[in-house]
Amino acid sequence: MKSLTLAAAAAALAACNSAPGQAQSGKAQSAGDAAAAVETRPPNGRNQTPAFPGQTRAPQVKANVAYEVTDVVGGLDHPWGLAFLSDGGLLITERAGRLRLFANGKLSAPIAGVPAVDARDQGGLLGLTLDPAFAANGLVYLAFSEPKGATNNAAVARGRLVTTAGAPRLENVTTIWRQTPALASTKHFGGRLVFGRDGTLFITGGERSDMEGRVQAQRMDGTLGKIVRIKADGSIPADNPFAGKAGVRPEIFSIGHRNVLGAALHPRTGELWAVEHGPRGGDELNIVRKGRDYGWTTITYGIEYQGGPVGAGMTQKAGMEQPIYYWDPVIAPGAMAFYDTDLVPAWKGSLFVTGLGPKYLARLTLDGDKVVGEERLLTELGERLRDIVVGPDGALYITTDEGRGRVIRVAPK
């Protein structure tokens, strides 16, 4: 496959256009200045108190970057996940069950070999990632909702991508993990895949939204409401926190999650960070650590969608982890990416989180494990922002989760 020059490829598209972003000018406010919080709407959890200062409503801290938004790929049906190949090609999942390859300025037909998906509501073909040894083995990993008659479950499959001798295709596709138990629900499948530095694979999950699934988030005999960790072939790492314990699923890495849609490794520590959907209020940013309980549904910020407290209305409990940051009202996080490249020096060290609800891109300023500032970008688009990756050129690449969705490139003007 020929190398893809992204700027040239974008220009070649008939639908290509660009739009300037708002210049991010102004002086950064002090992280301790509560009056300068970027969020001004009242919280849903009006009587809830953060566990520590700065846990929510960070001050507005601007990076003084003027950016430009350019279309890279258009005409997509609810694109969900992105992955760059080493030669510059871009793999894209569409929720309806299609995997596409954008290379040399052209978008492929749907790639053969993708497993059947249950594409209702929040289900379908979701996140993807490449094997750490992709250059040698060509393996692609896909997260999806797997139909099971009247029920369904989250699952992960892998197959070898072949781009020679005809149209691109997946070969030797095998499902290497299935979430249990299967339920009759169309929501909360999770679906992000992240390889750790040791070559193990993290899979983010959800608790399927209904009451039967909610209670599963605290149970150890199933994988609803969990983040799991497996080897690349689906086997279980011996150092998983619950491996070998009777009555416990050995792939469990952490518990007490509602619906984790974004995850990424911290570029310095290598730890897994994740963003997850809370109820009405209470979206969370967590550092995911081995064997920890993140509380759902025993503790949470926010309230039920119809009003009233979740469970007993607790936000803190001994033995359960606090988010390092939360949003109330919610951002409805779609994905996240650390920025650790040099194209935009003012963004270096930032954490970007896409928003599906308020439809903006949050740029978080970090001080170690603390969020000390927040900036809202791409508000001018008015589109649901799903996945985000930092491209090989240092620009941000984002999918818009729309019926006529696209991949956009965000870079300095």
d(CA 110, CA 100): 5
Whether 257 is catalytic is no
Q: Which of 78, 188, 257, 277 is catalytic?
A: 188
What stretch of H or E contains 178? strand 169-178
**Cα-only R_g, the chain:** 20
Q: Which two tokens stand for residue 317?
A: 């409990």
**DSSP 3-state of 390:** strand
Regarding beta strands 385-390 and 396-400, do their DSSP bridges make them parallel or antiparallel, or are they unpaired? antiparallel
Strands (DSSP E) contained in 104-150 are 106-107, 125-130, 139-148
Cβ neighbours, 10 Å, residue 30: 13
- Which residues are paired to 79 by β-bridges? 94
Report the alpha-carbon angle 181-211-49, nearest 5.
120
Regarding beta strands 361-367 and 106-107, do their DSSP bridges make them parallel or antiparallel, or are they unpaired? unpaired
Closest CA to 403 of 95, 185, 15: 95
d(CA 300, CA 109): 43
* Enzyme catalytic residues: 188
